[in-house]
Amino acid sequence: MAARGAALVLSLMLASGAPSPSRASEPRTAFDKYLAAGDSALRADRYVEAEKMFAAAIAEAKKSDPQRLGLALDHLANLKLMTGDETKAAELRGKALAADQQALGPTDARVINDLANEAFFCSMHDQDAEAEKLFKQALELQDQNPEVSEYHKTNLLGNFCDLYMRQQRYAECEPLLERALEIIANSSRPWNSQEVVMLRHKLADVYRHDGKESEAQELENRAFEGIRQAGNPTLNSLQLTLEQADDSLRRGNTVAAEDAYREVIAATENKGGLRSDSMLYFALEGLGRLCAAGERDDEAEGLYLRAIEVRERNAMEGNLPMARGLGYLVPLLNLYQKQGRLFDMEPVRSLALAMQEKVLGSEDKAVADTLLLFAEVYRQEAKYQEALSLYARAAKNQEKNLGPSRQLAGTLGKYADLLRRLGEKDEADAVHARADAMLKQIGAQNPQRPQR
């Protein structure tokens, strides 16, 4: 889940003008080098290093490239969002918008993207009136600037529609979605299939709420039309099959979902076929979730273990993203918890952690995430000493990678709660005081302390 969150922030960085990792050109100026170094550190979850690089990019922009000051501020804002400091993130986004408006003019494409991103964040934090005002302002400016990309146009329309759908203002959603799909239909550029399918399903839901059942059914029936390739599977067509499986599962069509998952597994697990271990992993896990929901626990367990084996194999081959994902054992953990078999997670946990530390090093942030997951398991089993040790290791890791942050403060709070349960009141109070001071330092609201 954390990975999805990171992907969302990265997508906002791309919308604000940051280069895609796969398309980024070689840095040319000092500003470019600082920004690229910050992006690289951010993708590796080295947040302290990333913050230093983004701060250096801001200083460089102020000195020699004021037109890119807003871009650097946006990067730092997204970093603050990832580390949980939403107050500072909002402040930085405001500064980025002001800097872009001053340096580029009020109708520049980047200013419009700044407005769209701010509208999105307001919407996510239930500031609906402000979000609607900003969405409308961004749309109006977008129509005045032909340089705004088709991607940004459809993204803005989709996010604006999400606000209206949450408010059940379906009649106002309809023209927004129809306009987005019209842009895609008239476009000469390739589109991410998942975006197209999502927009079609979203419009089908709106039609259904507006009483247009036949239109909704027709749109759903052709949601994947023109996207999935016929004939022998390719990696692209299998990716679409996997997306279709996930979509069918969300909509309760388990038969179609199971068929699609098994198609991907058969094509990618066969040694003589296509190799895409990431697709194989997600297909195995998706089918496992389907089986677990249908009380087919033995099948689910086997699928989850096969998915973990895929990640272990890739981790030992030096695949760093797969190694970082080794700690994501939540589906299997939930299954064992339901069956009262949490003790069976111990060998899985131990191997995953050992492999992460071997491939990534003990100071990688992913190691802290794994430690926290199993510290919570031990806490639930009332194994407080074991949990305490894992929380301490996780806090040390977070302090190095994140610095003062809500995540570190949260870990310290849980550590202090366990100290209190073990009778170490004075030490618990000292750790709580440190967590509270940290939250005050970053301007965040203190979380509610555990019951004592």
pLDDT in tens, 96-140: 999 999 998 888 888 998 899 889 888 887 889 999 999 999 999
pLDDT of amino acid 172: 93
Containing 64, the helix (H) or strand (E) segment is helix 47-64
pLDDT value at 228 more than 60 = no
- The fraction of the chain above a pLDDT of 70, given in percent, is 86
Question: Measured between alpha carbons, how far is 242 from 253 in angstroms, rounded to an integer?
Answer: 14
Residue 23 confidence (pLDDT) above 70: no
Amino acid in position 450: P
Least confident interval from 28-37, 171-180, 228-237, 408-417: 228-237
The burial of 308, by beta-carbon neighbours within 10 Å (0-12 exposed, 13-18 middle, 19 or more buried), is given as buried
pLDDT at 133: 94
- Which pLDDT belongs to residue 175? 93
Please report the domains of the chain, with CATH numbers, ordered by start residue: 1-148 (1.25.40.10), 228-361 (1.25.40.10)
Residue 20 pLDDT more than 80? no
Predicted confidence (pLDDT) per residue in 354-381, tens digit: 888 888 888 888 899 889 988 988 888 8
Residues 292-311 pLDDT 10s: 999 999 999 999 999 999 88
DSSP string, 379-438: HHTT-HHHHHHHHHHHHHHHHHHT-S-HHHHHHHHHHHHHHHHTT-HHHHHHHHHHHHHH
Alpha carbon distance 270, 232 (integer Å):
14
Task: Give the separation between CA 120 and CA 425, rounded to whole angstroms.
Answer: 44
Q: Of 15-19, 118-122, 158-162, 191-195, give the lowest mean pLDDT range.
A: 15-19
Q: At what angle do helices 277-293 and 330-338 cross, to 10 degrees?
A: 20
Do residues 412 and 430 touch, judged by C-beta distance below 8 A? Answer: no
- In which band, very low, low, confident or very high, does the pLDDT at 232 lie, cut at 50, 70 and 90? low
Contact 244, 252 (CB under 8 A): no
**pLDDT tens digits, residue range 235-249?**
767 777 887 788 788
pLDDT above 50 for 450: no
- Counting Cβ atoms within 10 Å, is residue 350 exposed (0-12), middle (13-18) or buried (19+)? exposed
Instruction: Name which residue leads in pLDDT, 227 or 390.
Output: 390
- What is the pLDDT at residue 1? 35
pLDDT (tens digit, 9 = 90+) per residue, 244-288? Answer: 788 788 878 889 889 989 988 988 886 555 567 888 999 999 999
| Cβ atoms 336, 296 nearer than 8 A | no
Percent share of the chain, pLDDT over 90: 30
Confidence of residue 192 (pLDDT cuts 50, 70, 90): low
Q: 4 pLDDT exceeds 60?
A: no
What is the pLDDT confidence band of residue 5, given thresholds at 50, 70 and 90?
very low
Mean pLDDT of the chain: 82
- The DSSP call for residue 364 is S
Q: At residue 227, does pLDDT exceed 80?
A: no
pLDDT digits (tens, 9 = 90+) for 398-422: 898 888 888 899 999 999 999 999 9
- Cβ(314)–Cβ(322) under 8 Å? yes
**Burial of 100 from C-beta contacts in 10 A (0-12 / 13-18 / 19+):** buried
Cα 21 to Cα 239, 268, 344: the distances in Å are 20, 26, 39
For the cut 80, the answer to whether the pLDDT of residue 190 exceeds it is no
pLDDT value at residue 27: 57
Structure-model confidence comparison of residues 201 and 391, the more confident one: 391
Lowest mean pLDDT among 27-36, 58-67, 81-90, 422-431: 81-90
Task: Work out the number of other CB atoms within 10 angstroms of the CB of residue 355.
Answer: 18
pLDDT at position 343, please? 82
pLDDT at 55 over 50: yes
In the prediction, which pLDDT does 11 show?
Answer: 42
pLDDT of amino acid 8 = 44
Model confidence at 195: pLDDT above 90: no
Task: Return d(Cα 186, Cα 178) in angstroms, integer.
Answer: 12
**Chain Cα centroid distance, residue 177:** 24
Is it the case that residue 14 has pLDDT exceeding 60?
no
